[in-house]
Amino acid sequence: MKAIAWHGKHDVRVDNVDDPEILNPRDAIIRVTSTAICGSDLHLYDGYIPTMKSGDILGHEFMGEVVETGAKSTLKKGQRVVVPFTISCGSCYHCGKHQYSACDNGLPADNQDIAQTLYGQPMSGLFGYSHMTGGYAGGQAEYVRVPFSDVGPIVVPDGVDDEKVLFLSDILPTGWMAAENAEIEPGDIVAVWGCGPVGLFAVQSAFLMGAERVIAIDHFPNRLALAKRFGAETINYEETAVYDALMQMTGGIGPDACIDSVGLEAHGFFGDNVIDQIKVSTFLGTDRAHANRQAILACRKGGRVSMPAVYGGFVDKWPLGAFMEKGLTLKTGQTHVQHYMPGLLAAIMEGKIDTTFLISHRMALEEGPQGYKMFHDDQDNVTKVVLKPGTA
């Protein structure tokens, strides 16, 4: 089969590889019909994520048709499913509490060592996201082996277009959980750093949860315009001093809840960011966290900070003092996708949430490498690339 494989920094290729097979009773094989490139795939593309190996198949936002099932899969051949990016067993203590991304058993035993060393405990597996997360082949391919297919993939009704439901795999639940973690109360003012897909879905979700105003922060005009479409007020940080603007816009109080959906590759020419970049390039620190620092400083006293953005390692000069003195609450985590899928599928079917606005580019799987380059080089106009296997 054909698949998009990582071969190094800024080097992804279309490889011909042997097909996946059923290995465990709960597995299923999915023929991929739509698969997206995620902003977090750019962290891999830029070489920020350790434990990648040449030839690793990328992709964790995908859906398709069930073509083969293991003895204990509950799926049926021919069903259309969206696959969560988190690989979770459904039977451990954490899955029982619906903390799917904290699953004890999604990672192969040998791959758990790195996460255990870095994070204290191993986390769930992830598709196509390095060997630290299990070394699972990803969904930017014609076929994928999907473990725990009896508890992960959600069956979508016939006749519903791929593009309406594809983002149930990651970014829609991630944006929703970001807003949920911000514990929004009616009348709140919510600030969202980063108007990528997660940030834009967080904007929509925050309004659905009762926020009175949402302020969206980015430097890409096109992305800010999308946020505005959903009712957000916008701040372009290249033109505006963000802290000063937020203070004025909130009458000197600060936003009640702040959502950092930027993460470890914050852009922008700020003092702390430059220091972070030097440290990253000299391996003294791994993560750039400008947006996160700004969120903590701007947040109102006793407010909430929600962090859906991906951080992988360590960060320096984090304003722990401001965080403590103001009595802030921080909630974060990889998304418990399986927990949110059914409710969000219903919201899509009822027309409460729109996801298709996001897709700016549709390409054949074989055009994946150009898709990566375009997304990387022009994040203003390229908001989402969806690859369609079998259309070349």
Partner 1 sequence: MASDDAPKSASRDGDAPIARAVTINRPRAELYAYWRDFAKLATFMENVERIEVIDEKRSHWVVKAPAGSTVEWDAIVTEDDPGALIAWVSGDGADVPNSGRVEFRDAGQRGTVVTATIDYDPPAGIVGKVIAKLFQREPAIQARRDLRRFKQLMETGEIATGARNRREHEERDA
Where does this chain bind partner 1 (CB under 8 A)?
A: 17-21, 23-26, 57, 72, 89-93, 96, 104-113, 125, 131, 134-137, 145, 147-148
**Least separation, in Å, of the C-beta of 104 and partner 1?**
7
**Least separation, in Å, of the C-beta of 322 and partner 1?**
36
Indicate the residue among 14 and 349 with the shorter CB distance to partner 1.
Answer: 14
Indicate the residue among 90 and 313 with the shorter CB distance to partner 1.
Answer: 90
Indicate the residue among 112 and 334 with the shorter CB distance to partner 1.
Answer: 112
Indicate the residue among 19 and 238 with the shorter CB distance to partner 1.
Answer: 19
Indicate the residue among 60 and 219 with the shorter CB distance to partner 1.
Answer: 60
Indicate the residue among 84 and 285 with the shorter CB distance to partner 1.
Answer: 84
**Least separation, in Å, of the C-beta of 71 and partner 1?**
10
**Least separation, in Å, of the C-beta of 258 and partner 1?**
34
**Least separation, in Å, of the C-beta of 298 and partner 1?**
40
Q: Is beta strand 304-307 parallel, antiparallel or unpaired with respect to 257-260?
A: parallel
**Least separation, in Å, of the C-beta of 208 and partner 1?**
34
